[in-house]
Structure 1
Amino acid sequence: MSNARETPTRSPRSFPYELRTFPSRLVDGEVPEEVAKWQQAVALGFYADVPSLEISTKYVQCEQADGRMATGAYLIDSQAPVGAWGVDYPVATYAYHRKTLNVGGGTLLPVHQITAVTVRPSHRRRGLLRAMMSTDLAQAKAAGIPMAALTASESTIYGRFGFGVSTHACDIEVSTMRGLDFIVPAAASVGVVEVADASVVGELHNELFARVHATTLGSIGRQDMYRLLAAGQGNYQSMEPAKNVRAALHYDAHGAVDGYVTYKPKEPAVEIVDLLAASDSAYLALWNFLGSLDLIESVTWGMAPEVDPLEWAMAAKRDYKRTTTEDHLWLRILDTPSALAARNYAVNGQLLIHVGDPLGHASGIFNIQVLHGKATVTRCPEDGTVVAEVSMGVSELSSLYLGTVSARTFAAAGRLREDSSGAVERLDALFATSEAAHCLTSF
């Protein structure tokens, strides 16, 4: 008998992996072994704690409510070395669920939300991410889903798959040492704010988020875990209830709840856990409440919008500090005619655009004709009889989609080509939005 470690027997195949997709759900009230091992692989990739059976069950309950589908890449025709994870543990993970994206004008577009993407360090640069992504996007396109989305841990990975940055999230720090003074005090004093148990927020979350989602450009559906996260009852880092999460509710003139904030006091600061407001007055009133907390010098929030009414409502604008701005929601158009026809447009007009797509889902020449804010989008022949006026990649079009960036900026960056004089200006006029897109969901 030898105590030397055995070396794995690897298949000579160029891609010695099998992709398996299965629902994340309980079977007879228990977590299937396949799901439990997939969860452990995800925890490894994100440096999270290994979930206990109890915590794993809670995760799956939430994921089952979302209809999450999990994919794992498994080694085939090989054996693991003694002591290492077996081949029944995936070497790469991927998951999706489907909800909706607010694209303006009251339209909620079906969207394919990608999450839990990991590749084990010992199996990188073997085409695993490309295989999982390509297969999944093709299946989403075939299912008639016009848009895919993700929130990225790393910002340099997903552009090559056609994703483009579509919203940003800001870390802000608001000084409250002297309280919050508003230029128009009455605007921040509409309705009533009262303290509540944080557990109440878990009961209010889904209905209130649905109201916010329906009126916020760039908002994307939240997964079931958010009702626990918002109430301090758990998240994918820990399912231990937090003992220091506080809550306040905003009541409108009719006594109905139209906003809440949950927060963690960390004297002399307060960190916002979640803030939802279905009206501008609720938003300012909740901030007014936070500014009135004794012994607190500042309030921080990691999901503030790029264009924040609070900044312009405060009398001392310099007390509002935007400490970090990062890419947040990434979109990826799968069906160009369907996606472009779904959103609203600022002006009437017509434009011929060429879209390049490395995976082929969104590519082609398209004629956009806008009348009364709605577009008719038709695919044109690519035999040389139709010449596009502006050309770009699907990543660029996906970033333009919610008005996050201008075509002129992309042209200056070398990422968009104007083939007909004045086409960039016309494209910007068509895609202009009256509000900045904001996403309050990470997934």
Structure 2
Amino acid sequence: MITERPATHRNPRSFPYTLRTFPTRLVDGEVPDEVLNWTHAVALGFYGPAPTDADIKKFVLSEQVDGRMVTGAYLTDAGSPAGAWGPEYPVATYAYHRKDVNVGGGTLLPVHQITAVTVRPSHRRRGILRAMMSSDLAQVKAAGIPMAALTASEATIYGRFGFGVATHKCKIEVATNGGLEFIVPMSADHGTVEVADAAVVRDLHNEIFTRVHATTFGSIGRQDMYRLLISGQGGYEHTEPVRNVRAALHYGQDGSVDGYVTYTVDESLTPATAIVKDLLAVTGEAYLALWKFLGSLDLIERVSWDSAPVQDPLEWAIAGKRRYQRKGMEDHLWLRILDVPAALAAKAYTVDGTVTVHVGDPLGHASGIFRIEVVEGTATVTRCPEDGSVEADLAMGVSELSSLYLGAVSARTLEAAGRLREVRQGSIVTFDALFSSSLVAHSMADF
């Protein structure tokens, strides 16, 4: 159980800002002013519509379910010009909640999920983000959380803080004119699919996601707002229900729901397109059956989805492989190892072996030389002395190790990219064998 941090006042170095951290929750049934002002600052940073007090109350009701904590950087030694936002509005924002990430072998590792990071344009390049990130990660490490995570709006910011790309997602388009034909027809005929109200998915989401999350390598926990977003019941951009979100449920052989899809239809596109908002399936059979349903929609000739897995069974299940087109692939989940022994000992391994790695960390949390010894699929990770008595086999930064952690890239590729150095010849082969997986990590949450 994670104990909530109390509100704090921090000034990690001499600059004209005070960092304040506080929970986003209601007090006596109302949203505190500091939460109202912080939320307006976030909306400004992400170019969202200015939320009303009622909107913010809806956000807070959801965010307090996750135990969300927020930080603001407040200008303390200068007044604001007439007409400008006053010092009660933060010039930078930062938030976190804590869930877990599936690292294989049935292990869900606690993870610190960072979100809502903004800096007002007029206050950039003054060290605010570094102060917020450094202070937060130090406290996370002290609390014993082995990993931090984020999904990045900009891909050039977070590497310098030790984050590395850990999963990718694809935008796909599937031509469905005439329906989808499957190479093995029975593969998509297990159970039944029935139409349902989108609001039903809101209520089913947590149970279905928990089951999918437990068996999906690379999956990270979803925040409470997700069940509203994917069912069209409201979100940060539109707090009122969206009327054009449709849903279908998959029922397994025992009659219970084991998957769903929510989608919208855009007939203004050429051709008319169904756009998947969310698709969760506990089994491979449910996944293909839901796609068969999407392929049967009348007057729809294309289905698009911007969160498809890199390794997608659908591509290999349909008879017309060229009907399946990847329109793009981008980084999704970024991880940041804070405790090397805890993180590496938690993940699953398929082969045995030993390798010693020197890890560099600009913030110092993961620095050191570590001996990784895997026996019968379980790793023992030992911190080695740094007095010259132990020579590492490989040398890399924590960002590189974080990308290697779930197999997003191989050590061989990072060496060719100039981001990893092999000290002992042949050690890259050993490392890649240890960290390889037959599964491609897939995360299903933006935050």
TM-score (norm 2): 0.96
Is 1:383 the counterpart of 2:387? The answer is yes
| One of 434, 437, 442 as aligned partner of 2:441 | 437
CA distance in 2, matches of 1:324, 1:36: 37
Aligned to 1:274: 278
Q: Aligned with 1:77: secondary structure?
A: coil
Aligned residue identity for 1:259 = G
State the match for 1:100 in structure 2. Answer: 100
User: Cα offset for 1:404?
Assistant: 1.2
* Structure 1 ranges of 4+ moved more than 3 A: none
Given residue 341 of structure 1, which amino acid in structure 2 is its aligned partner? Answer: A
Find out whether 1:169 has 2:140 as its counterpart. Answer: no
Q: Deviations over 1:349-408 (max 9, x none)?
A: 111101000000001000101011110001000000000001110000000000111111
Count of residue correspondences = 431
State how far apart, in whole Å, the 2-side matches of 1:361 and 1:159 are: 15
Match of 1:27 in 2: 27
Amino acid at match of 1:96: Y
Partner of 1:252: 252
> 2:299: which partner in 1?
295
**Alpha-carbon separation, structure 1, partners of 2:166 and 2:78:** 42
Where does the alignment leave 5 or more consecutive residues of structure 2 unmatched?
A: 1-12
Match of 1:150 in 2: 150
Where does residue 359 of structure 1 map in the other structure? 363
Structure 1 counterpart of 2:237: 237
> CA separation in 1, counterparts of 2:393 and 2:178?
55
**Structure 1: unaligned runs, 5 residues or longer:** 1-12
1:84 aligns with 2:88: no
User: CA–CA distance in 1 between the matches of 2:350 and 2:414?
Assistant: 20
How many Å apart are 1:178 and its aligned residue?
Answer: 2.0
CA distance in 2: counterparts of 1:335 and 1:235, whole angstroms = 34
Q: Which residue does 1:202 correspond to in 2? A: 202
In structure 2, the partner of 1:350 is 354
Alignment of 1:378-417 (within 5 A): 378-417=382-421
Letter in 2 for 1:207: E
SS in 1 for 2:71: strand
CA RMSD of aligned residues (A): 0.7
Q: Measure, in 1, the Cα distance between the counterparts of 2:36 and 2:279.
A: 32
Q: Distance in 1 between matches of 2:434 and 2:390?
A: 21
The residue aligned with 2:7 is none
For the residue of structure 2 that corresponds to 1:237, the secondary structure is coil
How many Å apart are 1:346 and its aligned residue?
1.6
SS at 1:64 equivalent: helix
| Equivalent residue letter for 1:146 | P
What letter is aligned with 2:109? L
Letter in 2 for 1:159: G
Post-superposition Cα deviations, 1:95-136, rounded to whole Å, max 9, x if no partner, equal 000000000000000000000000000000000000000000
CA distance in 2, matches of 1:212, 1:152: 23
Structure 2: distance between partners of 1:135 and 1:269: 46
Q: Secondary structure at the match of 1:387?
A: coil
Deviations 1:214-251 (A, max 9, x none): 00011000000011012110111111211110000000
What is the one-letter code of the residue matched to 1:47? Answer: Y
2-structure distance, mates of 1:36, 1:169:
33
Structure 1 residue aligned with 2:3: none
SS at match of 1:194: strand
Please report how far the alpha carbon of residue 169 of structure 1 lies from its aligned counterpart in structure 2 after TM superposition: 1.1
Which residue identity lines up with residue 15 of structure 1 in the other structure? Answer: F
Q: What is the CA distance between 1:14 and its match in structure 2? A: 5.2
Whether 1:331 and 2:335 are equivalent positions in the alignment is yes
**Structure 2 counterpart SS, 1:295:** coil
> Helix, strand or coil: the match of 2:443?
coil
CA distance in 1, matches of 2:72, 2:416: 41
